[in-house]
Amino acid sequence: MEPTILHNSSNTGWIEVICGSMFSGKTEELIRRMKRARIAKQRVEIFKPAMDTRYDDADVVSHDESVITSTPVSSPSQILLLTSDATVIGIDEGQFFDETLVEVVTQLARDGRRVIVAGLDQDYLGQPFEPMPQLMAVAEYVTKLHAICVICGAPANHSQRLTSGDTRLLLGATESYEPRCRRCFSIHPEADIPHDAVGNEPARTPDAGM
């Protein structure tokens, strides 16, 4: 849930983290908060990794096609140079940046800015996806979102990679990933449990999926 915003004379900044699996609505929530800040006539700036060109070279676009204008950057240090007089700063796909993002976001908050970072908290192996865990530790507010498991319909906390390869950073959407719950997630896609076009899971043998 979005934190309650209080106006005060101390100009205190803070950090908000929006995390979760693929297709959980992280970018959509980031866009929603940034648009609300604009409605409130606050000065906003939005940044995304330059490497993320899946839907657009510049704009931040969610999987449900919500769009907001952004500035692509190749490193967190560029964000400090480009924030100008913005009071609300949004950063999408935080997991694509290196760990200096933590220092940059902390500095912005110390300068009295509201900083909102969205990103995956786990990689395709189900391991913490730096620098998101570090950001969650220093943030005042953390919102964890869930998708729906395509196998059983339970809340999905994992991003199941559907393609081969062991590179950690792999851009993709529905052709490369799908949301899975803890029970249906597998770190070995080649041994994955098949399911039909509507996501129904076939009957398991007693030792399957253990």
CA distance 196 to 29: 30
Q: Is residue 93 annotated as a catalytic residue, yes or no? A: yes
Q: Is 1 within a domain?
A: no
201 inside domain: no
The answer to the question of residue 58 being in a domain is: yes
Say what the pLDDT of residue 63 is. 56
The mean pLDDT values, 10 residues at a time, for the chain of 210 residues are 56 94 94 94 93 64 68 94 92 95 98 97 94 97 97 96 75 75 82 44 36
Report the pLDDT value the prediction gives residue 12, as an integer from 0 to 100. Answer: 87
Residue 101 counted as domain residue: yes
* 183 in a structural domain: no
State residue 67's pLDDT score. 75
Classify residue 34: in a domain, yes or no.
yes
pLDDT at 166: 73
pLDDT at 173: 56
Structural domain that includes position 134: 14-145
pLDDT for the residue numbered 51: 84
Q: Residue 203 has what pLDDT?
A: 37
133 lies in a domain? Answer: yes
Is 87 a member of any domain? yes
> Domain with 108 in it: what CATH number?
3.40.50.300
What local confidence, expressed as pLDDT, does residue 150 receive?
Answer: 95
pLDDT of residue 143: 98
Q: How many domains does the chain have?
A: 1
Q: Which two tokens stand for residue 207?
A: 């030792």
Angle formed at CA 93 by CA 183 and CA 106, multiple of 5 degrees: 110
| Per annotation, catalytic residue among 16, 45, 93, 178 | 93
